[in-house]
Amino acid sequence: MSLLVIPSIDIKAGKTVRVVQGIPELDSKEYGNDPVEMALILRAENAKFLHVVDFNCSNEHSHKNFDIVKSICQAVIIPVEFGGGISSLEEAKEVMDLGIHRLVVGSLAYLNRKEFEKIINEFGPQKISAAIDVIDDKVVIRGRSEMTDISPLEYAKQLEAIGVKRCIVTDVKRNGMLQGANIELSKEIAAGTNMNVTHSGGVEGYKDLKKLNEVVSLGIDSVIIGRALYENRFPCQKIWRKAEQGLFS
């Protein structure tokens, strides 16, 4: 089995953005205005899966980007997963009705375990991924703004015990920084549980993908990439992007 590369589309106020370390207030940088067009471009570049983050939903519990998310799901024929501060089963249902293939749940899994279990029971573990965001070997929640006292491995084991089959592991300090992937963190979670692990954060180019591909057998079967894709860090992208000029105008 080879590594699945999952491009990330981060949406804020209807626009595609990339943000340093996942914090919207810190040096936000826009990459184009149309998330649907970006989804089509990534699909044209042979993306097999998309990761969509709604910062307005995450930070304000606003649903103003939901029509855009629905349009992305309708525009591409590949699965789309959604992350954005899901706070209840009802909100999870609303998001899944947009056409989402898989739902990413973060803080709720830590703060309200019973409500999170309701979501798992409603949709099944194959449709849910738990986000494990980490700073200095501690899990962080609430938009990566609040530190907990639990280690990522201990937390991962708790999630596995209630039926979680997949988690997204992010070293927040590496996220969006193009400083190399913290593969050891993802390996620790994969080795200490039977969950499938999606690595996120720090990928700066092909060498990181090669390293991750070498540990697929451990259970790290996919990687989310954002800034490196947007900034053309992969040699083949220059060919793709030149071929795409005017394609979606």
Catalytic residue IDs: 10, 133
Rounded Cα gap, residues 152 and 155, in angstroms: 5
**Burial zone of 201 (CB within 10 Å; 0-12 exposed, 13-18 middle, 19+ buried):** buried
Cα–Cα distances (Å) from 194 to 75, 105, 159, 164, in that order, read: 34, 19, 11, 10
Please answer whether residues 162 and 113 qualify as being in contact, where contact means their C-beta atoms are separated by less than 8 angstroms.
Answer: yes
The count of C-alpha atoms lying within 13 angstroms of the C-alpha of 151, restricted to the half-sphere facing its C-beta, is: 8
Are 222 and 198 spatial neighbours (Cβ–Cβ below 8 Å)? Answer: yes
State which amino acid sits at residue 80.
Answer: V
What are the CA-CA distances from residue 72 to residues 48, 51, 149, 200 (Å)?
A: 14, 11, 37, 21
